Amino acid sequence: MKITSRYEHPHEHFQMQKFKDLAVEFEMARWVKEVYFDSSFSICYIYFDVRVAEGSWIANQVKSMAERTINQFEMFGVIYHGTEPG
């Protein structure tokens, strides 16, 4: 899973790394192609493997992990709010 940030702010990488750690732990990392934090909008975009459908069990698991690790994120065109890990 590729993780990148527009301006490389440390708090963005911290959130993305926490997300990636959970995805690896629960064997979901293979379904996420990229996590990109757009610093200008303070939003993290989660890009899935093409086989993952919106509303699928996999997408819902990934959303749950993102809610626990990322402050604001987008999946399938919808913006969600989670919690920033401490």
Q: What is the pLDDT along the chain (86 residues), one digit of tens a residue?
A: 999 999 989 999 999 999 999 999 999 999 999 999 999 999 999 999 999 999 999 999 999 999 999 999 999 999 999 986 66
C-alpha to C-alpha distance for 86 and 82, rounded to whole angstroms: 12
Question: Is residue 5 within 8 Å of 37, Cβ to Cβ?
Answer: yes
* pTM of the predicted structure, to 2 decimals: 0.93
Question: Is residue 72 within 8 Å of 44, Cβ to Cβ?
Answer: yes
